[in-house]
Amino acid sequence: MGGSGCQLHHDALDEPKSGLSLALPKNWTQWDSKKLNSPEAAKVHMVGYAGDPDKKALVSLRRFSYQRLGARVAITGDTLDRLNPEDREKLFEVLVKQIERDLSEDNEYWQLESTRHSDSLKRGYLLELIGQVREAGETTRWLKYVLILPKKDEQIVEVRLSAPLMEKAKYQADLDLINDSLRRWING
């Protein structure tokens, strides 16, 4: 999902409905509206995608309803607010397992390194998984997978930030810039 249809050198990747704006390194490119409105992008709920000039370090934004495992309602920040702490903890465990299952099914290799979630924040909840992933025929990548479960919104926002594992140090400043803007928005 890369390559053609990119506009050059935007300084932020925006998800207008939530107000999320991820700072991008100056030399990164992102998909233009034609590419984002394509059937391929719509099918996977992609609302933003950007990468470095070599298309090795990447960030993607998706927005969708999260209704899994036969749940009667979408899982959102409001859903989590209504749960007692023990049930909220159990739901986070279920979400982590589901995300891991999805990453395992879609890839040749997946290894979880760490996971964490927030308590209720001003904007909602956050679930973060960090690990290593490899698509068939590709190199192993470092992946930060973040699920934002906002309040007063029926859809969640997914952020994926990745870089080749062996070259992660080369991209660390770029990854930190994007990660810091995500952290500021979450704490905002």
Q: pLDDT value at position 121?
A: 82
The reported pTM is: 0.87
Q: pLDDT value at position 1?
A: 41
Are the beta carbons of 127 and 95 closer than 8 angstroms? yes
Q: In sequence order, which residues have a C-beta less than 8 Å from that of residue 93 and are 6 or more positions away?
A: none
Q: pLDDT value at position 67?
A: 66
Q: pLDDT value at position 4?
A: 40
The model's pLDDT over 127-175, given as tens digits with 9 standing for 90+, comes to: 999 999 999 999 999 999 999 988 888 888 999 999 999 999 999 999 9
CATH T-level assignment (fold) for domain 6-187: Protein Transport Mog1p; Chain A (3.40.1000)
CB atoms within 10 A of CB 110: 19
Q: Tell me the C-alpha distance between 148 and 77, whole Å.
A: 8
Q: Which residues of the chain have pLDDT under 70?
A: 1-10, 67-73
Q: pLDDT value at position 39?
A: 92
Are the beta carbons of 38 and 14 closer than 8 angstroms? no
Q: pLDDT value at position 10?
A: 61
Q: Tell me the C-alpha distance between 68 and 49, whole Å.
A: 25
Q: pLDDT value at position 9?
A: 44
